[in-house]
Amino acid sequence: MTRLQQQLAAGEFVVTAEIAPPKGTNVVEALEKARALSCLAAINVTDNQGANMRLSALALSALLIREGLEPVLQITCRDRNRMALQSDLLGAAALGVKNLLVLSGDHARFGDHPEARSVFDLDSVQLLGVVSTLVQGQDMAGKDLHQAPEFFPGAAVAPEAEPFELMFQKTAKKAAAGACFFQTQAVFDAEKFSLFMDSAQDLEVPVLCGILLLKNAGMARFLNRNIPGVKVSDILIERLDSASRPLDEGVMIAREMVATARSCCQGVHLMTLGHEELIPEILGQSAIAQEEGEC
Amino acid sequence: MIISERKALSELEKALAGQKKLFLVGCAACATACKSGGEEQIFQMQEWLQSIDREVTGSVVIDEACHIPRAGRDLRHHKGAVGEADALLVLACGSGIQSISSSTEKRVIGALDSLFLGNVKRFGHYEQKCSLCGDCILNETAGICPVTTCAKGLLNGPCGGMEDGRCEVDGEIECAWVAIYQRLQAQNRKGVFARTVPPKNWSRKRKPGRHKVTG
């Protein structure tokens, strides 16, 4: 069992965060960042996030394992067909990677290689099914595997998306296809999230609420304009705008979301974008705990 | 129909390097309808070629340039003018260009880029609805193709980028899955939402495609 799996099974309030592989081969900084997050349940390693080409998420995940850290390998359907995906999954398992976050992936048009051909041979629901098939010892063609991999696969959900029923049917399909946990897109609307959780309870899949640290109002507006599926309300933008120290206000907003998460779901997935040192504060942990390194 | 558009003149000029005399070929079907290879465009092309010091030996607009025997027959009817030319400049889709290239030993230069199989939305305005994938799911998706109209071709519902019912890739476009959902709801049926759609059988999209009508 992975630590993430254990903590979820034990009903602990689980905290994950994420790091991005470097553009290049120097992994020193990425590993340093990962070490700083070692007290969390697991660290997501993004896969050419935003369709920007970077070092392979699988390679960095394997390096994390070598350091004794626990990765969640993000794996998208954008860049690989079903053969490459299966073969990377087997490779991941051989390198000790067990936690997965299975995603469709941002369209190549958004990234730094807009002329690339997007693959999408599979979608995220289908890839979750493939993971289950591999775990059962067969590939998609029905051929037996010489030793089956072990995985703890998760999936992403968008709790604020409308129409709710349309979004939720996909969430349910992901649960049925074998998702063992959900990490949500950045959530800013506590009420909508609670409503989502009311329906999600029935799926019996633990949910980690995505919390994105807003650094200032400009960033919030940028997200609204440029990041699909992310919506920061005018009320929150106003709070950031009128705050004398916007970052402190951003931390406050994140803390409020953590409080919501504590009341209705199993944990949080933190996206602090370079402000990892603020994680203990966002989690509302005491100074003593911070000194003891228990972030 | 096949939607095509003319290549940039600068690109054409490069392709025409060293070719002094040209025979022009258009198509009376799709390329005429989308104003890329009809009589009018052949005439404009001829004027442009003359302005860059080229000679046009003759021209023909073939009924359906994709019809290989017909293309061959039309070229034979213009044997003299074709024979005189250094190359044939074809204002037709990629299919039409290849009917011509398979009907002559001469060098064939394509003047158009072929874009997609398009529906006419209104005059001069085309939209792709079908990508000829060989494995049609329309009966389950209320007649709206997610393989084509979802930017990612997803088969089990929208991605996380859907926002206010719009596609993350192009905010001008409605999310295919919202459209499918709404139409199925209006028809009071579950359709594709009743099941998890398995991975698509891409072997149905044979390359190169071949089909023989039997019986």
Check B162 against A161: CB less than 8 A apart: yes
* Domain B2-115, second-level architecture: 3-Layer(aba) Sandwich (3.40)
Q: How many domains does chain A have?
A: 1
Q: Write down the pLDDT at residue A86.
A: 98
Q: Write down the pLDDT at residue A257.
A: 97
Contact (Cβ atoms closer than 8 angstroms) between residue A283 and residue A218? no
Residue A94, domain extent: 3-214+265-291
| CA B79 from centre of chain | 28
Q: Write down the pLDDT at residue A290.
A: 53
Which of A121-135, A244-258, B165-179 bottoms out in mean pLDDT, i.e. has the lowest?
B165-179
Q: Write down the pLDDT at residue A295.
A: 55
pLDDT band at A110 (very low <50, low <70, confident <90, very high): confident
Check B157 against A106: CB less than 8 A apart: no
Contact (Cβ atoms closer than 8 angstroms) between residue A160 and residue A192? yes
Which residues of chain B are in CATH 3.40.50.1860 domains? 2-115
Q: Write down the pLDDT at residue A286.
A: 55
Q: Which of B154, B164, B193 sits opposite A123 (nearest CB)?
A: B154
- Say whether residue A192 is in contact with chain B using an 8 A CB cutoff: no
Q: Tell me the average pLDDT of chain A.
A: 95
Mean pLDDT of the region A138-158: 98
Say if A243 falls within a structural domain: no
Check A169 against B157: CB less than 8 A apart: yes
Tell me the chain B residues in contact with residue A118 when contact means C-beta distances shorter than 8 Å.
Answer: 152
Q: Write down the pLDDT at residue A289.
A: 54
Determine the 3-state secondary structure of A225 from DSSP.
helix
The CA distance from B60 to the nearest CA of chain A, in Å, is 36
Does A227 have pLDDT greater than 60? yes
ipTM of the complex, rounded to two decimals: 0.92
Q: Tell me the average pLDDT of chain B.
A: 96
Say if A155 falls within a structural domain: yes
| CA B16 from centre of chain | 23
- The percent of residues in chain A predicted with pLDDT above 90, rounded, is 92
- Give the pLDDT confidence of B33-59 residue by residue, as tens digits: 999 999 999 999 999 999 999 999 999
Q: Write down the pLDDT at residue A169.
A: 96
- The percent of residues in chain B predicted with pLDDT above 90, rounded, is 90
Tell me the chain B residues in contact with residue A123 when contact means C-beta distances shorter than 8 Å.
Answer: 152, 154-156
- Give the pLDDT confidence of A77-88 residue by residue, as tens digits: 999 999 999 999
Nearest CA in chain A to B181: A166
Instruction: Give dist(CA A156, CA A194) in Å, integer.
Output: 17
- The length of chain B in residues reads 215
Say if A241 falls within a structural domain: no
**Cα-based distances in Å from B204 to A145, B25, B118, B209:** 27, 33, 21, 9
Instruction: Give dist(CA A160, CA B161) in Å, integer.
Output: 11
pLDDT band at A230 (very low <50, low <70, confident <90, very high): confident
Q: Domain of A34: which CATH number?
A: 3.20.20.220
Q: Write down the pLDDT at residue B29.
A: 97
- Give the pLDDT confidence of B104-132 residue by residue, as tens digits: 999 999 999 999 999 999 988 999 999 99
